[in-house]
Structure 1
């Protein structure tokens, strides 16, 4: 039996039914009373699971009729050949942006970080890990390393008020970017943080940014594959 909280097990049960096609768009799901009996839990526990899925736009309550499966929301979209502040992206779509700072500290570069940031092993660098939301839905997990030499005040910032992207753009004017994109099988930390279902794909954008000839920042940006896409436009002469 799963050790996860009961309301999460109920959420997963509902998501599994939707993703398998057993409960298509427009389908009225099992009632709260039936779920209460099926999982031997309180009505409050079932209500929390359904309330979370309603907030995520997966389910819709209809008074006196029941709870129904919604059509998938249009995926959030970012330009692959440019850098946009995720807070501005979310607001431009009419959604509410907020974030949660998971970690923000100095660390010593190991082999992996040294290669990512172009510094010597043993160099002190800055690290931040931030979860970005659109309304109440996790949209991006940002894991970032910053060269402390070029952004010495990075750790002093309140990243609930200004995003790392905005701060670095204002203090280390962008001259070049490097992007690589890949689909990954997320580890448990990423899966839990982004609230991914068991079969949810994860999209990873690797980004490095330069200011002049200085490699300032390296970031790993994780997105729920069902809610996010990257696009590019190339004009041919």
Structure 2
């Protein structure tokens, strides 16, 4: 006979359904009233069980709709730059990528300002989809100043990511990050396997090595699979 408190038994029941994939991310779980009847306990007991799991990030409550299994999100730090391939492998997943474009182009007005070069200056441009297992996790769109990374355009990024190459050859001295939520264009929908109604988390990044502005990157992530965090000492 299970001697655990009743709210723990309810939590164990819910967790067993999640861990065995009976209830998948996004699935609605039984109502508090249904669980009250199933376990023959008070509404308060069921509420505590669910509230604890919500606080742990395993469930989420949506007003007037019910309680749902949370979508598991990958987390990355804003305070530094980590190689996405390393992050994925450290989670025990398989990393791969698809190189969409890797070319030399003239800098347009916007990129010339952001990269600190004259308009029409030849710059390097790459566009790559990064995968965790078979799921598209990030679309990386990057512009690089050839003056500081002259061999960037000839690299095989299926072997080492742009981040890995630039970190090795242009040691990072400072970064600039801005984050915003955006709705995906048709192209981004196709590359990240999204619908028109699924938002993206866009990380705008600029990187310097010593005093030199090396790279500008736009990093698009499916908002339901990715989150960014920042830890600061005060």
Once the two structures are TM-superposed, the CA of residue 191 in structure 1 deviates from its matched residue by 1.1
1:201 paired residue among 199, 209, 226: 199
1:1-237 → structure 2 map (5 Å cutoff): 24=28, 71-236=69-234
Counterpart Cα distance in 2 of 1:25 and 1:141: 33
Give the secondary structure class of the aligned counterpart of 2:202: strand
Q: Does the 8 Å contact 2:183/2:196 carry over to 1?
A: no
Counterpart Cα distance in 2 of 1:149 and 1:75: 37
Give the secondary structure class of the aligned counterpart of 1:170: helix
TM norm structure 2: 0.71
Q: Which structure would you say has the larger Rg?
A: 2
Counterpart Cα distance in 1 of 2:71 and 2:184: 22
Counterpart Cα distance in 1 of 2:91 and 2:29: 23
Give the secondary structure class of the aligned counterpart of 2:232: coil
List structure 1 segments (4+ residues) > 3 angstroms apart after TM superposition: 23-26, 70-73
Counterpart Cα distance in 2 of 1:84 and 1:97: 14
Give the secondary structure class of the aligned counterpart of 1:209: strand
Deviation sequence 1:96-120 (CA, Å, 0-9, x none): 0000000000000010110121111
TM norm structure 1: 0.70
Counterpart Cα distance in 2 of 1:235 and 1:178: 18
Distance 1:25 1:163, change over 3 A: farther
Deviation sequence 1:72-108 (CA, Å, 0-9, x none): 5521111011100000011111110000000000000
Give the secondary structure class of the aligned counterpart of 2:120: coil
Counterpart Cα distance in 1 of 2:93 and 2:197: 26
Q: Which residue of 2 aligns with 1:48?
A: none
